[in-house]
Structure 1
C-alpha cells in the first residue's frame, strides 16, 4: 500500500511540476513580448522628440495612449483566454445534455402497479458488461422469478449478485439478452412506471436530515394516515424500542448538521430505517441487498423471523453472502463468476454436496469458532 501511495504521489508531484513550468514559461514570454512592444513604442517617441522636437504635451499624449492601448490589448487577450476555457467547459456540459437517454422516461407503454396484479420477472440469455470493462460481469444468465416467490441470491463478493439485481430493477439494460416482465421486454415500458414496481434496501443508502416520519414516507407534512402507516412500518422493521424512547416520536429529527436537537442513528438502526422505508412503499417486488450487513446477530435473527411477515403478498429477492441467512427462502441460487452455478432449496443444495454445501460448511465452521471464542472470553 505504501508503494502504491508513493507511486501516486510521485506522479502527482511530477504533473504539478510540469504544469508550473508551463506557467512560468508563459509568464516569461509575456514579459518579453510586453517589454519589446513597449520598448519599440517608447524608443520611437524619444527619437521623434530628439530629432523633430516633438512637444512635451504630444509626447505625454502618445505615451499615455501606448500605455492604455497595451492595457486594453492585454485585457482583451485575457478575456478571450477565459472565454475559450469557459467554452471548453460548456462543451462538456452540452455533450452530456445531448447524450441520448438510454431509458424511456418520457414515452414507452404505461405501467401501473394495481392491487391483485402479479408479476413474473425473467432474465433470458442475459449478458452484461460495464462500460469500459474488459470482461463480462454476467454471462448468459437465465432466471425466472415467479409471482410471490421468495428468492435468495448468494455467492462470494464479486460473483455478480448486485449487478443481477440492478438489471432486474432496470438500472441498467443488458448488453445482450432480455429482461422480461410478464413476458414483455422491460425496454418497451415507461421506465419511471417500471421503477414503481420495486421497493429496495441497497447497501448504499441516504438518510435525510429531516424527521423520522419523513425519512420513511419521503413526503413532507404527513397526514394522520401516513403517520400511522409510517409507525407501523418502523415497528415492523424492528425499531419499536428506539421509537418508544424518542421524546418527539415520529417527529424526532435525524442528524445534527441541520437540527441541533437531532439524533444520530447507528449503522444497524439506519439499515432498519431503510427497511421501514421499503415496507412503507408497499411495492409488489421487494429487493433486499445485504440488509443485515450492519446488524448484530440478535437483530439479524429477529429480521429472519419476521421476513415472511414483512414480504407477505409480494415477490422478494434477498441477496447475501451469508448462506445461513437464506434458509427461509423458497429458492436459492448460487452465483459464481457471473453465472448461476447451483439452484434449489437449502436442503436440495446441501444434498447436492456441491459448491453451496462447501461454502455453507466453511461459514458454519467459522461462525462456530467465533462463538467458541466468545464463550471462552
Structure 2
C-alpha cells in the first residue's frame, strides 16, 4: 500500500475531481446535465438578485408605466423562482447521486478489497488502523456539520467551481469601474481567506484527537453496560472507575472542541474587522463616484451589491477549497488502498491453467514480521495427481504454507508457480476459483444449505430481486457494477444434491422440510436449523466438491469428528480427488496414511518426507509422534468396535 504522501501526490485533488466526474456515468449520463445546471444557476441567481433593485430604481428614474414595471418585476421574480427550483432539484439529484455512488462504487470496491486482499492487511494492527482511516474517509459527515467523503467531494467541488465563477464575474465588473476598487477588494479578501484557512486547518489537525477521544468514550460506555461484564463491575466495585473515566473523557472532549471553536472565533473577528474596512472604503469610493456624476443611482446599487458579494465569493473559495483538500486526502488514501491506477496500461494477467500438473515453491521466504521468517528459502514441488500430507507440531507452518499457496500472503522472496506460471501474475479471482480449501475454522453462513454449498444465488432469486427494484437508480448503479459477474453466481441444485450425497449428508438434508433450501442458524430466520459440528464439516466438504477446482486443500476440517470417522472421511474424500493435486493437513497421523507423500514440517522446514511406511522405517520425528498417538488411537478403535 502507498504511504500517505505518495498517495496524495499520485491522486491529487484535480485527479480525484476528474475521477469523480468519470464515475457519474455509472448512475446515468443525465447527471452531467444536472451538474451543469446546478453550477450555472448558483452563479446566475445571486447576480440577478443584485440587478433587481437597480432595475426597479431605473424604472422609477425613467418614469415607466407602473403596470408595465410591475409586470417586469413579476417576470424577474418568477424567473428567479424557476431558477431556484431548478437549482434545488439538480442539487438534490447530485447529492443523491453521490450517496448512490458511495454505496455502489466506493464502499463496494473497498469491501471487495477487504475480502480479497492478502491476509496481512487483515491481521496487521497497522493495516487495520489504515483501513479505519480509509473507511472514515467515505463517511458523509465529519461530525461538525460539514460534508465529507464522496458526498463532500462532489458538493464542495461544485461549490468551488461556483465560487470561482462568481469571483471572476464580480471581479470583472468591479475592475471595469476602477482598478483601485478591485485591488482593495482582493487584498482584504485575501486577509480574510488566510484567517479562515488557518482556523479550518487548525480544526483538521485537532479534530483527530477529538475523534480518538470519542472512540474511547463509546468503548467505555459500551463496556459499562455490557451484560457479560456486569458481574465483574459489581463484584470488583468498578462503578466509580467507569464514572471517573467517562467524566475525564467528556472534559477532554469539551476542551478540544472549545479550543477549536475559539480559533474560529478569532478568525471570524479578523474577517469582520477587515470587512468593515473593505466596505467602508468601497462605499466611500462609490459615493464619490455618484457625487461626481460618474454613475447613476441604479449603477451605484449594482456596484454596492458587487462589493458585498465579491468578498463572499472569495471567502467561500477558500472555505470550499480547504474542505475539499481535506476530503481529497482521504479519497487519495482510499484509491491507493483499493489499488486504483491512473493509467489503463496494466499488464494483462496470465491465464489460470484448467488442469494443474505441477505446483512449485521456489526459494520462498515469508514471515509475519520482517525480522522473523517462518519459511526461509523454502522449496517444494508437488506433482499432478499427488496426494500430499503436511504434518508436524503446532506452529510448524502447515497452515501458513497452504495460505501462501492460495495467494493470501505476499512473499518476502521467491515465487510460487502453477504449471511454471507465477501465481502473482494470474488474475486473483480466477486463481481463487482454481482452489478448493477447507480451513480448520469453518463458518456457516446464515443462508440456505444450497447457498452454503454453492456460495451463489439461483436464477429465480436474482430475477425476483431485479423485479423488486426495477427502475430504481441505485439498482441501476449496482447492475452496472455487477453485470459481468451475474452469470457466475447461479447454482445448480442437482449438483448440490450430488455433492451432499458424496459426503453422506443428503440423508439428513432430505429429511428437512425445505430440503436444500432450509436456512441455517436463526440469525436471519427464526425458523432456521442448526447442524452439529460433524455435519457442518461435511457440509464444508460438499462445498469443496461443488467447486470442482483442480487444487484441493483440507486443513484439519474434520476436527469435530472422532479419529475413526475422520480417517474414514479422508479415505472417502481421497477417492473423489483423483487426477487432482490434493493437500491434507492433520494432527492425527493415521488419517493421512493413504497419501502418496507425507511431509513432516518443523520451524518452516521439511525435516522428513516419504510414504507412511518409509517414515515409520526411518524411526524419526514422524515415527515418534505416530507412536505417541497410537495408544490413543487404539482406545478409540476399541470404543468404535464396541459401539461405545
> How far did 1:19 drift?
4.1
Question: Quick one: which of 572, 596, 599 aligns to 1:306?
Answer: 572
Question: Quick one: which of 217, 227, 231 aligns to 2:493?
Answer: 227
Is the Cα–Cα contact under 8 Å of residues 112 and 193 in structure 1 kept in the other structure? no
**Where does residue 22 of structure 1 map in the other structure?**
252
Query: Per-residue CA shift, 1:126-174, capped at 9, x if unaligned?
Result: 11012x4541121221110101100001111111111101111111232
C-alpha distance in 2, partners of 1:265/1:144? 38
Question: Quick one: which of 350, 369, 383 aligns to 1:109?
Answer: 350
**CA RMSD after TM alignment:** 3.9
**Structure with the greater alpha carbon radius of gyration:** 2
C-alpha distance in 1, partners of 2:349/2:335? 21
The answer to whether structure 1 residue 122 and structure 2 residue 363 are counterparts is no
Question: Quick one: which of 347, 358, 364 aligns to 2:624?
Answer: 358
Question: Quick one: which of 399, 414, 418 aligns to 1:181?
Answer: 418
> How far did 1:184 drift?
2.4
C-alpha distance in 2, partners of 1:111/1:29? 58
C-alpha distance in 2, partners of 1:237/1:327? 20
**Where does residue 149 of structure 1 map in the other structure?**
386
Is the Cα–Cα contact under 8 Å of residues 127 and 139 in structure 1 kept in the other structure? yes
> How far did 1:245 drift?
2.3
DSSP-derived class of the 1:208 partner: coil
C-alpha distance in 2, partners of 1:257/1:243? 19
User: Normalized per residue, which structure has more helix?
Assistant: 2
More displaced stretch, 192-201 vs 299-308: 299-308
Map 1:61-210 to 2 at 5 A: 91=329, 94-99=332-337, 101=339, 107-113=348-354, 117-130=355-368, 132=369, 134-210=371-447
**Where does residue 610 of structure 2 map in the other structure?**
344
Map 1:173-322 to 2 at 5 A: 173-221=410-458, 226-322=492-588
C-alpha distance in 2, partners of 1:91/1:15? 33
Question: Which stretches in structure 2 are left out of the alignment for 5+ residues?
Answer: 1-231, 233-237, 264-318, 341-345, 461-489
> How far did 1:29 drift?
7.6
DSSP-derived class of the 1:269 partner: helix
DSSP-derived class of the 2:400 partner: helix
Map 1:3-14 to 2 at 5 A: none
Query: Per-residue CA shift, 1:335-365, capped at 9, x if unaligned?
Result: 1111111111111111111111111111223
More displaced stretch, 244-253 vs 164-173: 244-253
Query: Per-residue CA shift, 1:253-280, capped at 9, x if unaligned?
Result: 2122222321111222111111101101
Is the Cα–Cα contact under 8 Å of residues 268 and 296 in structure 1 kept in the other structure? no
Is the Cα–Cα contact under 8 Å of residues 563 and 591 in structure 2 kept in the other structure? no
C-alpha distance in 1, partners of 2:615/2:331? 52
> How far did 1:220 drift?
1.7
> How far did 1:92 drift?
5.7
DSSP-derived class of the 1:127 partner: strand
C-alpha distance in 2, partners of 1:93/1:321? 47
C-alpha distance in 2, partners of 1:31/1:306? 70
Question: How many correspondences in the alignment?
Answer: 318
RCO (CA 8 Å, sep 6+): is it higher in 1 or 2?
A: 1
More displaced stretch, 274-283 vs 366-375: 366-375
> How far did 1:182 drift?
1.4
User: Normalized per residue, which structure has more strand?
Assistant: 1
Is the Cα–Cα contact under 8 Å of residues 203 and 291 in structure 1 kept in the other structure? yes
Question: Which stretches in structure 1 are left out of the alignment for 5+ residues?
Answer: 34-79
C-alpha distance in 2, partners of 1:92/1:31? 23
Change (3 A) 1:328 1:88: farther
C-alpha distance in 2, partners of 1:219/1:25? 52
More displaced stretch, 203-212 vs 275-284: 203-212
C-alpha distance in 2, partners of 1:246/1:264? 11
